[in-house]
Amino acid sequence: MDLTIPVLGQPKVRSPLKLSSESGDLVPDFVHDDDRLLFDVSAKNLREALCKNPDVLPLSFERAGPREFLYFDPSKTRVGVVTCGGLCPGINNVIRALVMELHYHYGVRRIYGFRFGFAGLSPEAGYDVIDLTPEEVNDIHHDGGSILGSSRGPVSAEVMVDTLDRLGMNILFVIGGDGTLRGALDMYQEISKRGMRISIVGIPKTIDNDICLVEKTFGFETAFSIAIEAIRAAHVEAKGSPNGIGMVRLMGRNSGYIAATAALAEPNVDCVLVPEIPFKLEGERGFYTWLQGMLKERGYAVIVVAEGAGQELMAKAEKEQCDASGNVRLADIGLFLKDSIAAELKRKGIVYNLKYIDPSYLIRSAPANPNDSLFCLSLGQNAAHAGMSGKTGMVVGIWNNGLTHVPIREAVAQRKVVDPESDLWRSVMDSTRQPARWE
């Protein structure tokens, strides 16, 4: 991995932030580019790395934060903000944090919002650019969704960069998930090819928490917090009926983080099905046998399933369809399991009562909870610091509780998924007592 962060040029404009360059003076300090956070904080691995090559710093991230010198002159800087992809708790919080930091602390007065995702950067769509002022964004953090709206679907990098050039933009803040960040990477590469001086700074947004080299994405904590309410309801329904089954379908196309974390936070779950771990329905160690054993032993069962789980069990269309973002449209594992469980138990002559809950859109449209609000504030502020100092082709992330700069190319190189051998999944096994493998 190469964690080097591209810069537009030598920062020469002194920052207007009233911070310190000395420690011990009771004033918060500027951050220097050589202040780095280790990728691997294991003492054993650090010792081995230093013994192997003591003159080379082990793999590390550039630390996020305000720099003493800026690349852009705040009085002449034009900034754009765009939000793309599915909705997620906390988008408005990030927009607000960006505007407030740029306006009040840096003195940037020209901050614009592009409407409805990357489509807002295409003249053909005809969407107006809106002014983002402190008055406009002051109360938006109380609301879910995005004040700018959002959309899926690509727009050519050439068209988007032409728009940025025509409007005289210096920095574009891109708030979105894996597909959005790939679009941001395309823009960065097109800008570099043209030799332009426009900064592209990403802020990773995905409920699924699947961005590589980013420990946690905003909205994730709110998502599993709301999912807990659905699990509690499923538990009450299941426990209140003979052979009751409560099933909750949660987000997670490729990564089962929400399902796993929600099941740990509300530990009345008996089984968690995620995309990372295949399962089968039939057989002595299949899902049907496990479910019937649970009903016989305890009289009810609570199941949490991520939307991307079990796709191999369902018939594929002759030609896979994709959404506007290029994601393959998933078959509905929740409804499939609901119907297949009903057919199996009916075939076995077992009387049951199954309640199925899908809280996906309640979760997506919710405002951020207090912890996510704090996190969004930090991400927005540190994205502003990065952009003003000339950092580009990067996203603001978090790693081992420290805010970092991550090259976009590395963040989108692969998806982060639940490791079946990790502490997280071991905790799920301990809590649910479900089989470690479905054989």
Structure confidence by residue, pLDDT tens digits, 107-132: 999 999 999 999 999 999 999 999 99
What pLDDT, on a 0 to 100 scale, did the predictor assign at position 324? Answer: 58
The residue written with tokens 């404009």 in the block is: 13
Q: Are residues 260 and 305 in the same domain?
A: yes
Q: Are 408 and 394 in contact (CB under 8 A)?
A: yes
What pLDDT, on a 0 to 100 scale, did the predictor assign at position 147? Answer: 97
> Is residue 406, in this structure, part of any structural domain at all?
yes
- Quick one: pLDDT band at residue 377, thresholds 50, 70, 90? very high
pLDDT (mean) for 28-55 = 90
What pLDDT, on a 0 to 100 scale, did the predictor assign at position 49? Answer: 83
Q: Kind of pairing, strands 402-407 and 394-399?
A: antiparallel
What pLDDT, on a 0 to 100 scale, did the predictor assign at position 221? Answer: 95
pLDDT (mean) for 360-389 = 97
Rounded to whole angstroms, the Cα distance separating 59 from 283 reads: 46
> Is residue 326, in this structure, part of any structural domain at all?
yes
Give the CATH number for residue 128: 3.40.50.450
Q: Are residues 118 and 35 in the same domain?
A: yes
User: Which domain does 109 fall in, by range?
Assistant: 13-217+368-411
pLDDT (mean) for 190-216 = 96
Rounded to whole angstroms, the Cα distance separating 127 from 3 reads: 36
Give the CATH number for residue 231: 3.40.50.460
Boundary of a domain, candidates 331, 365, 399: 365
- Quick one: pLDDT band at residue 319, thresholds 50, 70, 90? very low
pLDDT (mean) for 358-385 = 96
> Is residue 419, in this structure, part of any structural domain at all?
no
> Is residue 396, in this structure, part of any structural domain at all?
yes
Q: Which of 250, 238, 227 is nearest to 301 (CA)?
A: 238
> Is residue 417, in this structure, part of any structural domain at all?
no
Q: What pLDDT digit, counting tens, does each position of 411-434 carry?
A: 999 999 999 999 999 999 999 989
- Quick one: pLDDT band at residue 322, thresholds 50, 70, 90? low
- Cβ contacts of residue 189 below 8 Å, gap of 6+? 157
Q: Are residues 27 and 89 in the same domain?
A: yes
> Is residue 416, in this structure, part of any structural domain at all?
no
pLDDT (mean) for 321-328 = 63
What pLDDT, on a 0 to 100 scale, did the predictor assign at position 325? Answer: 56
Q: Are residues 144 and 92 in the same domain?
A: yes
- Quick one: pLDDT band at residue 328, thresholds 50, 70, 90? confident
Q: Are residues 205 and 267 in the same domain?
A: no
Q: Are residues 59 and 202 in the same domain?
A: yes
Q: Which of 305, 310, 357, 346 is nearest to 331 (CA)?
A: 310
Number of domains present in the structure of the chain: 2
Q: Are residues 375 and 305 in the same domain?
A: no
Rounded to whole angstroms, the Cα distance separating 205 from 258 reads: 14
The helix, strand and coil proportions of the chain, stated in percent and rounded to the nearest 5, come to 40, 20, 45
Q: Quick one: how far is CA 264 from the chain centroid?
A: 20
Q: What pLDDT digit, counting tens, does each position of 89-98 carry?
A: 999 999 999 9
Q: Are residues 179 and 201 in the same domain?
A: yes
> Is residue 211, in this structure, part of any structural domain at all?
yes
Q: Are residues 92 and 179 in the same domain?
A: yes
> Is residue 379, in this structure, part of any structural domain at all?
yes
What pLDDT, on a 0 to 100 scale, did the predictor assign at position 57? Answer: 85
Q: Are residues 27 and 167 in the same domain?
A: yes
Burial of 312 (0-12, 13-18, 19+ CB in 10 A): exposed
Question: What mean pLDDT is reported for the chain?
Answer: 94
Q: Are residues 194 and 337 in the same domain?
A: no
Least confident of 141-150, 323-332, 354-363: 323-332
pTM here is 0.94
Q: Would you name the residues annotated as active-site residues?
A: 208
Q: Are residues 83 and 107 in the same domain?
A: yes
Q: Is the pLDDT of residue 318 over 50?
A: no
